A and B are shown apart, each in its own frame.
Chain A
Amino acid sequence: MTDKKKNTAFLIVQDNEDARPIIEAVEQDNPEASIQYEPGMVRMECEGSLIVKQETVEALIGRDWDVQELHLVLISLAGNVDEDDEKFELSWG
């Protein structure tokens, strides 16, 4: 495995309406991230770290959003998880 691969944090979610604002928020908050649409799921990869911010998702859906709602659409992830009321962050190191 190359160093680059080892260092990549990723988040895979289902491709549905509930996941959509999360994907858009990741896109906004992680300009480096690559987002791949695969059948039925969406894979978001970013070198080093990847963050989902509550504030961004809330602005996109126009209501309060609990970060734990992320788990309803989550398929897989890579990286150490740092989760609190305001964010869900994946990172290596």
Chain B
Amino acid sequence: MSIEISAKAITPIRLSYGNLIERFGDKRPPSRYQEAVYDVQPTAHFHYRPLWDKEHEIYDTSRTAIVMEDWYSFADPRQYYYGTYTIARSKQQEVAEHNYSFVEKRALLDDLPEEVRQSVRDILIPLRHIEWGANMNNCQIDAMGYGTTICSVAMFNAMDRLGMAQYISRIGLLLDGNETTSLDAAKKDWMEAPEWQGLRHAVEDMFVLEDWFELMVAQNIALDGLLFPLFWDRFERKLSENGGGTIAMLTEFMSDWYKETVRWTNALVKVTAAESTANNELLSEWVQKWVTRLSEAIAPVATKAFGPDGVSELNEVKEELLARLGKQGLSV
């Protein structure tokens, strides 16, 4: 007796949900990212306006001056939805956790030169307050924003910022054998030291920005675009040159994270600016305004970090940022 085994293909009647077929056609199944993110946010049949804002619907395109024909024109180049995001971050967390326990076990921070320890206390530890501010700001973008592709990116970003604030706190604790001396001193600097006040003022002004897209530009494009290359890259390198290479082990996540983040901020700027000249002008105006204000605010901290080279380091970072945004189509 012979058994005949033949493969039988059963083709599904339709490949996906109607909204995705309308967007991407019926030729091939949509990706998990597309299924998880597109058109998730309600767009119609809102019964009541929120009590805290009678001028707007709960999801309302008029909460920003940016106008988009389709708010789903932007797609996250990393294609993060809950699954991919948590898998990517848990891998990074494992590496970071390992680095922290390695540094702790060998007491590597005890061998740092005293001036490096002091620079970390003066410059890096106060940055945790900025990370916390960035968490608040991205939660705000998520709450007020429109379109799930943008809002989900903002929420993931908010969680990342909380994580980074925690990493910085852990460095502070490691420096003092689990005492909060550095953390308390950094809080005091953030609240009182003159070199931090410009930056604190700017961050607190962001908390009360009405337009969520302006907040997106101010926080995720202007502030991060200046801060991360300056402190988590250039300043790190300066510490390493002076014998503080261990610190780089503990802040690896920050530099990896920034490289990754630039991909979606670039894509967002590009898509939004290409939509209309009005959008382009508005974005360029916001970028000019915030980059100018923030670079003035960062200047005293940069001088404290790099000495007399601070201002030129900051200017280089600023030029790089503006050149990068120029490439995405902005006139800055």
Residues of A within 8 A of B (CB): 17, 20, 37-39, 59, 61-63
Contacts and interface: CB of A to CB of B under 8 A. Distances in A.
B26 interface: no
A40 to B, nearest CB: 9
B78 interface: yes
A37 to B, nearest CB: 7
Q: What 7 A-B pairs are tightest by C-beta distance, nearest first?
A: A62-B77, A62-B78, A39-B9, A62-B263, A17-B32, A20-B31, A62-B79
B272 to A, nearest CB: 18
B78 A61 contact: yes
Given A17-B32, A37-B28, A63 B260 contact: yes
21 contacts: A17-B31, A17-B32, A20-B31, A37-B28, A38-B9, A39-B7, A39-B9, A39-B10, A59-B77, A61-B77, A61-B78, A61-B79, A62-B76, A62-B77, A62-B78, A62-B79, A62-B260, A62-B263, A62-B264, A63-B78, A63-B260
Nearest to B32: A17
Residue of A20, A38, A62 contacting most chain B CB atoms (<10 Å): A62
Contacts of B31: 17, 20
A66 B77 CA distance: 17
Nearest to B264: A62
Contacts of A39: 7, 9-10
Contacts of B32: 17
Interface string B4-27: 000101100000000000000000
A39 B32 CA distance: 19
A15 B271 CA distance: 30
A62 B81 CA distance: 13
Interface string B52-78: 000000000000000000000000111
A33 to B, nearest CB: 14
A31 to B, nearest CB: 15
Contacts of A20: 31
Nearest to A59: B77
Contacts of B76: 62
A9 to B, nearest CB: 22
B133 to A, nearest CB: 26
A62 B78 CA distance: 4
Residue of A17, A38, A59 contacting most chain B CB atoms (<10 Å): A17
A70 B28 CA distance: 20
A37 B27 CA distance: 10
Contacts of A17: 31-32
Nearest to A38: B9
Interface string B107-119: 0000000000000
